Structure 1
Amino acid sequence: MVIAVASQKGGVGKTSSAISLAAGLAHKGKRVLLIDIDSQANSSKVLLPNYPQIQKQHTVFTTIIERSPLPTHQTSVPNLEIVPSHILLSNTDVELTTAIDHREERLKRELDAVKGRYDYVFIDCPPTLSWLTINAFTASDKVIVVVAPGYFELDSIVQISKTINEVKEYFNSDLELAGFLFTMSDPTVNSKTSLQILRQTYTGSVLNTVIPRNTDLRDAHFNRQDIFSFNPKATTSLAYNKLIHELFQV
């Protein structure tokens, strides 16, 4: 199963969710691949201690631009491999915009060649609706849309939902919405109201599991660890384990 983890807005816990889902399944003995196509490369920086030494030809940049095989690297987590990102990926959208030959399938073609080696593949998408995001959606079976409390965060869902439907119509008819994942939840009125509006507006599409705002997650990433390696008893660890069970019955 290939799952894109997406949001139109940054700072909503998208990358944290991609890392936590991938690492959580790997800790349970599943073979997992995480593909980082966010040019900020935060997933890569957390999971690869030697990331600063990795050259661009050993990142997903070479797959998107040169259509080379996916360069996989073993992470610090057993059973979890990653295809790292590169800062220059931020410039690739210009090239994909002017390309005319199956520009939406560059990731899918190379992923199809290797995905049989894994139980799960996650794609950490950029926080924009670009040709990179379309590549991710075209290559995926499902999309998890990450949403944090706030008016602008909720407003961004409309456009990303439209993009999912357009990719489904033109490039990937089998694409499904796995659900909206509410993150950074806290006891404030803003958080409670945002979740209520989300569930009322998208009835049946909001995942039951809610991810709390928690300093352990930030501290884990600061220490270049996933949350399960850092503190398996943290409230965020328990929440992501619950999410993994809800999504994959694992």
Structure 2
Amino acid sequence: MVISIASQKGGTGKSTTSISLAAGLGRIGKKVLIIDVDSQANSSKVLLPHYIDLRSEQTVYNTILERKPLPIHPTTIPNVDIVPSHILLSNTDVELTTAKDHREARLNNGLEKVKGHYDYVFIDCPPALGWLTVNAFTASDKVLIVVSPGYFELDSIVQISKTIAEVIEIFNPNLQLAGYLFTMSDTTVNSRTSLKVLRQTYTNDVFNTVIPRNTDLRDAHFKKMDIFAYAPKSKGAMAYQSLIRELINHDQRPQ
């Protein structure tokens, strides 16, 4: 199962979700690969202690720009590997815009050779709807959209839904929506109203699990740890455990 973790807005908990899902599944014996295609490289910086020493050819840049095999690295989490990102990916959209040979499928071509070794692959997408995101969606079975409280955050769903529809029509007819995940939830009116609108608008596609605004999640990343290693009994850890159960139960339903 290849799942893109996506959001058009930055700071929604997208990388936190990628790391937490991978860590939780890895700890129950699932073999997991994270592919970080966000040039900010947040997932890579948390999971690879020596990330700063990596050269561009040791990252996903080598696959998307140079069309070389995916450079896979073990992480500090059991059963979890990662293909790290690189700051040079920030120029990828410009370079792919002028490319003429299957620019949407470069990630997919690399992933096809290795995905059989994994139970789950999570692609940590950039907070933009350019060619990197199109590459991620083209390589995926499903897209999980992360939504945090706020008017503009809810409004961005329209744009990302349009991108998904275009990828289905042109590049990947089998792509499906995994669902909308509400993150950074708290007791404010803004948060409660945003969740209510999300569930009213996309009733059948919103995960039951809600991820709380939780300082343990932030502090875990500061320590370069996943939430299950840092604070396994925290509200954040419990929420991501619930999300993992939802994902597994959904995958086990008859198609």
Give the structure-2-normalised TM-score.
0.97
How many angstroms does 1:188 deviate by?
0.8
Amino acid of the residue matched to residue 125 of structure 1?
C
Which residue in the other structure is 1:122 paired with?
Answer: 122
Which residue in the other structure is 1:243 paired with?
Answer: 243
Q: Distance in 2 between matches of 1:166 and 1:207?
A: 24
Question: Over residues 132-171 of structure 1, what are the superposed CA-to-partner deviations in whole Å (9 max), with x where a residue is unaligned?
Answer: 0000000000000000000010000000000001000100
Which residue in the other structure is 1:221 paired with?
Answer: 221
Counting only pairs closer than 5 Å after superposition, residues 114-153 of structure 1 correspond to structure 2 as 114-153=114-153
How many angstroms does 1:78 deviate by?
1.1
Which residue in the other structure is 2:234 paired with?
Answer: 234
Counting only pairs closer than 5 Å after superposition, residues 3-152 of structure 1 correspond to structure 2 as 3-152=3-152
How many angstroms does 1:227 deviate by?
0.4
CA RMSD of aligned residues (A): 0.8
Q: Distance in 2 between matches of 1:166 and 1:208?
A: 27
How many angstroms does 1:232 deviate by?
0.7
How many angstroms does 1:202 deviate by?
1.0
Q: Which moved more, 1:32-41 or 1:202-211?
A: 202-211
Q: Distance in 2 between matches of 1:114 and 1:100?
A: 25
Identity percentage over the alignment? Answer: 70
Counting only pairs closer than 5 Å after superposition, residues 162-241 of structure 1 correspond to structure 2 as 162-241=162-241
Q: Distance in 2 between matches of 1:119 and 1:247?
A: 12
Q: Distance in 1 between matches of 2:228 and 2:72?
A: 22
- How many aligned residue pairs are there? 250
Q: Distance in 2 between matches of 1:21 and 1:97?
A: 32
Q: Distance in 2 between matches of 1:12 and 1:52?
A: 24
Q: Distance in 1 between matches of 2:206 and 2:26?
A: 25
How many angstroms does 1:84 deviate by?
0.2
In structure 2, list runs of 5 or more residues that go unmatched. none
Amino acid of the residue matched to residue 9 of structure 1?
K
Q: Distance in 2 between matches of 1:153 and 1:92?
A: 25
Q: Distance in 2 between matches of 1:192 and 1:82?
A: 35
SS at match of 1:108: helix
